[in-house]
Amino acid sequence: MRLALLSALSLSLLAPALAEAQSDPQFRGEYSDWRVFTRDTDQGRVCYALSRPTDSAPQNHEHGNVYFLVSSWQSGIVEEQPSLLVGYDLRPSSPPEIRIGSSTYDMFTDGQESFLDDLDDEPRAIRSMERGSAMRVTATTGEGVATAYEFSLRGVTAAIQRVNALCN
């Protein structure tokens, strides 16, 4: 159930051509290195903040579009859910890991997406993001290439506050 819900969320956020009944994402603000969008779907409004990495490794790998998102649904089914979206299939046996300062959070994969392994970690990860200055996410491609992404956390607090104001 969780996996299906998470997959539906990402499709509703970033693949507008796949669902005609959904509106295009609406830009709602820029907060330093984070941007906020909303999208109206058949299940209600989805609000999300996203950022692109400031650094990607290895340099010679084709990463595609890479985003870190924090999503909430107006219906309350998802609240402040962190996730990673990459432009390649992730290796399920080597799921991504988030590191913010000395805190680490394990993820699970679903194709090109990753979500926190433990729902109870979501609020703690969000608070770490709001207190931190940078976040490192390591992942492994389906072909076994180790990748790493550095995300700036400048503006994440204001972006999450805006997401909450738009979807609560």
pLDDT, residue 35, reads: 98
Q: Give residue-wise pLDDT tens across range 133-152.
A: 999 999 999 999 999 999 99
pLDDT, residue 168, reads: 84
Work out the end-to-end distance of the chain between its first and last CA atoms, rounded to an integer number of angstroms: 24
pLDDT, residue 19, reads: 42
Q: Rounded to two decimals, what is the model's pTM? A: 0.86
* Fold for the domain defined by 2-167: Immunoglobulin-like (2.60.40)
pLDDT, residue 23, reads: 83
Q: Give residue-wise pLDDT tens across range 22-73.
A: 689 999 999 999 999 999 999 899 999 999 999 999 999 999 999 999 999 9
pLDDT, residue 21, reads: 53
How many beta carbons lie within 10 A of that of residue 54, not counting itself? 12
Q: Which amino acid is located at 28 in the chain?
A: R
3-state secondary structure 38-96: EEEECCEEEEEEEECCCEEECCCCCCCCCEEEEEEECCCCCCCEEEEECCCCECCCCCC
Burial classification of residue 86, based on how many CB atoms lie within 10 Å of its CB (0-12 exposed, 13-18 middle, 19 or more buried):
buried
pLDDT, residue 4, reads: 36
DSSP type of residue 24 = P
Where are the chain's structural domains?
A: 2-167
On average, the pLDDT of the chain sits at 89
Check residues 15 and 60 and name the one with the higher pLDDT.
60
